[in-house]
């Protein structure tokens, strides 16, 4: 790609006209090693490995940091077919030929050679295991050997052999699953999962392959299969070029079940998984299609769009700032000839692309904002965003923005209700699962993302798969089926896009209240549905939502409806609610009485007495104070209120009652003060 086209690609990545939902991001992890003769990826340790004739350079890729320097190890010279570090990184295993594997102790520099029977069988590959049964597995044309290593790597002890005729195999550390292909068409499989729970054997199964007149017996290759983990479930994706379909197989404890197919539009394709979303790269067409396997529909999340390269992280900056960023990125990437989907690309599950030509490693990103902007079904979009974990804060802010927008756009109440139900249900589940994390900065606006955990540290956990464990997260059916699963992505995340009722109040309802005050009937209907949804999930709600409801009803003078809301407990009793009823009751005596009754029911004696006095019911307030033995109310409060009302008969009556109730009251300064005021004002009133 020439300079001008590369610039336009960067511009497309950051400009408003960019049409992409998936992108790779500069800078990449670059392997600038002179005289390098091989580039490998160790998925178990997430290492990018570059080899020379006698050295091994390795870069950590999780978390993805292009500036991290490589580790360097020395090995003996020789061919390298494949290379992997042990899981504790104390040893390096190198396949030298189809009959020899060498193990190098990184500390002692000791070398251990392992060979198979030359001529009768050959080594197809190997991998390290965290199974309690074995440390190293070698796959041969005659089956699979499981070995245990001693702590000093002095010897390999054969633990078990799985006999089978093997043409080729696939394995990923994420799934801990190895599939051994056999048969003339390579479509018959023996499967084993080597996890921390032990070695589990899958039932033997065959994959579906369409036939054509020109090819009655198509042969399946290792490149046609992809093992992925989505929502904690293990799938195998099989490319059927004759049928132009991508078949999905899901693994259970005692069965392998085909679960539908996806159409493909290219004879050459590959896959990635980002944030539990399946990305299918149609390489000939140079587009990527996103699928969410959680939903029953096999329709894509969005339209097929190109994979783009972006020179910097998309943010809400001005166009001038964006142009400066592009210019700065151009100079730093002038030596990168980026050709999308070139032949040298290897797609690494879950979310990496290894560019063998340019010797760089790219990390794949999703653009949640672009996906959201292209969706017209707001309810489905909210469900989609609530399932996102990798960028939980961004998903959360998008959900808050959608919730505000559908209210301000005066969408039908049923649509808004569905949206609210999605958010409330997701929050309820998140609380039960222990994944909810509240926005702590109460002064933050809803458009300001809050700090979250590192996506890479959230995703990548070094833990084995356990066939006995089940994944119930996000299972709408609540099925208790015994699931063959990988627990690498099933562990609870530290953050969640879930939105609490308090956050909905702070960042949605309060922000739309002022703009919707003239349409209070609509907003009250929405709030009512919100309260219904909260009640159905048995959740607590910010009391201010009730205060807001009272204000809206009072503003539109819907006092009868306000009374019904209060008496039917749609508006829950509280001190704040009672005070708002008293305040709104200035326009309606019945509403004010509801506020007084609520204070009394809540046994808020002091506030109830103060409100009675404020309304001029001095004697009733005194009798209530005497009955409930309220000592926190000063006698001067009654006297001052009566005197301020200029009703001397009330003042005289209060002085008389206080004298009867309080022994020695006539000897107090309060009595002499108000008795004197009474006499000065009206000598005709006898005490």
CB atoms closer than 10 angstroms to residue 682: 13
Q: What are the tens digits of pLDDT across the range 552-565?
A: 999 989 999 999 99
Q: Which of 9-23, 213-227, 505-519, 573-587 has the lowest mean pLDDT?
A: 9-23
Nearest in space to 39 (alpha carbons), one of 67, 66, 58, 26: 58
Work out the angle between the directed axes of helices 635-644 and 669-681 (0-180°, nearest 10).
Answer: 10
Task: Evaluate if residue 467 carries a pLDDT over 70.
Answer: no
Q: Is the pLDDT of residue 613 over 90?
A: no
Half-sphere exposure of 28 (CA within 13 A, CB side): 25
Between 661 and 231, whose confidence is greater?
231
Asked whether 139 and 129 are in contact (CB, 8 A), the reply is no
Give residue 88's pLDDT. Answer: 94
Query: How does pLDDT run across 372-382, given as a tens digit for each residue?
Result: 999 999 999 99
User: What does pLDDT average to over the chain?
Assistant: 83
Mean pLDDT of 232-258: 94
The domain limits of the chain are 22-306+334-368, 375-542
pLDDT of residue 287: 95
Q: Quick one: average pLDDT of 312-318?
A: 43
State how far the Cα of 341 lies from the Cα of 347, in Å rounded to an integer.
10
Q: How confident is the model at residue 681 (pLDDT cuts 50, 70, 90)?
A: low
User: Among residues 37, 31, 32, which one has the least CA distance to residue 54?
Assistant: 37
- Per DSSP, the three-state class of 657 is helix
Convert 355-390 to b/e letters by CB count within 10 Å (16 or more is b).
Answer: beebbbbbbbbbbbbbbbeebeebbbbbbbbbbbbb
For 481-502, write each residue's pLDDT tens digit.
334 544 433 334 447 899 999 9
Tell me which CATH code domain 22-306+334-368 carries. Answer: 2.130.10.10
The model's pTM: 0.80
Element (H, E) at 328: helix 319-332
- Distance CA(652)–CA(684), nearest Å, equals 11
Q: What is the pLDDT confidence band of residue 449, given thresholds at 50, 70 and 90?
A: very low
Per-residue pLDDT band for 320 (boundaries 50, 70, 90) equals very low
């Amino acid at each position: 790609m020439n300079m001008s086209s590369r610039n336009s690609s960067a511009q497309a990545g950051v400009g408003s006209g960019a049409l992409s939902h998936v992108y790779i991001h500069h800078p990449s992890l670059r392997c600038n090693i002179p005289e390098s003769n091989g580039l490998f990826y160790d998925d178990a340790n997430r290492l990018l490995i570059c080899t020379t004739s006698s050295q091994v350079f390795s870069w950590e890729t999780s978390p993805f940091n292009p500036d991290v320097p490589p580790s360097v190890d020395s090995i003996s010279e020789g061919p390298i077919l494949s290379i992997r570090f042990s899981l504790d990184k104390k040893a390096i295993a190198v396949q030298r030929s189809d009959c020899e594997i060498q193990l190098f102790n990184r500390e002692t520099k000791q070398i251990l050679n392992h060979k198979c029977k030359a001529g009768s069988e050959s080594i197809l590959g190997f991998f390290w295991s965290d199974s309690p049964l074995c440390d190293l597995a070698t796959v041969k044309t005659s089956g699979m050997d499981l070995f245990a290593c001693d702590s000093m790597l002095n010897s390999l002890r054969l633990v078990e052999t799985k006999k089978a005729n093997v043409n080729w195999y696939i394995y990923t550390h994420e799934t801990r699953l190895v599939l051994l292909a056999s048969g003339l068409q390579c479509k018959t499989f023996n499967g084993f999962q080597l996890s921390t729970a032990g070695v589990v054997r899958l039932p033997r199964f065959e994959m579906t392959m369409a036939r054509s007149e020109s090819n009655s017996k198509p042969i399946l290759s290792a490149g046609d299969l992809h093992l992925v983990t989505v929502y904690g479930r293990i799938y195998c994706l099989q490319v059927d070029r004759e049928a132009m379909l991508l078949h999905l197989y899901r693994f259970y404890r005692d069965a392998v079940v085909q679960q539908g197919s996806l159409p493909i539009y290219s004879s050459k394709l590959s896959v990635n998984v980002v944030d539990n979303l399946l990305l299918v790269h149609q390489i000939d067409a140079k587009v990527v299609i996103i699928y969410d396997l959680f939903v029953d529909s096999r329709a894509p999340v969005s339209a097929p769009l190109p994979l783009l390269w972006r020179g910097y992280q998309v943010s809400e900056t001005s166009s001038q700032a964006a142009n400066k960023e592009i210019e700065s990125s151009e100079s730093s990437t002038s030596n990168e000839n980026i050709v999308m989907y070139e032949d040298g690309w290897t797609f690494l599950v879950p979310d990496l692309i290894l560019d063998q030509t340019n010797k760089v490693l790219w990390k794949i990103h999703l653009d949640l904002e672009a996906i959201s902007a292209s969706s017209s079904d707001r309810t489905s979009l909210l469900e989609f965003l609530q399932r996102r974990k990798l960028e939980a804060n961004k998903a959360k802010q998008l959900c808050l923005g959608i919730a505000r927008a559908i209210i301000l756009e005066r969408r039908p109440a049923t649509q808004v209700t569905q949206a609210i139900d999605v958010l409330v249900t997701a929050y309820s589940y998140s609380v039960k699962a222990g994944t909810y994390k509240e926005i702590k900065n109460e002064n933050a606006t809803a458009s300001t993302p809050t700090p979250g955990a590192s996506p890479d540290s959230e995703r990548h956990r070094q833990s084995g798969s356990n066939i006995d464990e089940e994944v119930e997260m996000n299972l709408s059916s609540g099925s208790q089926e015994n699931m063959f699963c990988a627990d690498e992505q099933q562990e609870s995340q530290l953050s969640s896009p879930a939105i609490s009722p308090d956050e909905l109040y702070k960042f949605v309802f309060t922000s739309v209240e002022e703009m919707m005050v003239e349409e209070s009937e609509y907003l009250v209907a929405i709030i009512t549905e919100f309260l219904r949804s909260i009640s159905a999930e048995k959740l607590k709600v910010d009391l201010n939502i009730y205060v807001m409801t009272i204000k809206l009803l009072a503003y539109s003078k819907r006092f009868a409806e306000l009374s019904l809301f209060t008496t039917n407990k749609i508006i829950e009793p509280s001190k704040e609610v009672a005070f708002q009823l008293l305040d709104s009751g200035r326009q309606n005596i019945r509403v004010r009485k509801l506020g007084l009754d609520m204070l009394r029911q809540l046994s808020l004696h002091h506030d109830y007495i103060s409100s009675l006095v404020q309304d001029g019911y001095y004697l009733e307030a005194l009798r209530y104070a005497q009955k409930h033995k309220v000592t926190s109310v000063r006698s001067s409060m009654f006297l001052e209120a009566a005197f301020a009302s200029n009703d001397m008969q009330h003042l005289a009556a209060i002085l008389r009652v206080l004298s009867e109730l309080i022994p020695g009251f006539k000897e107090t300064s309060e009595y002499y003060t108000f008795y004197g005021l009474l006499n000065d004002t009206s000598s005709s009133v006898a005490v």
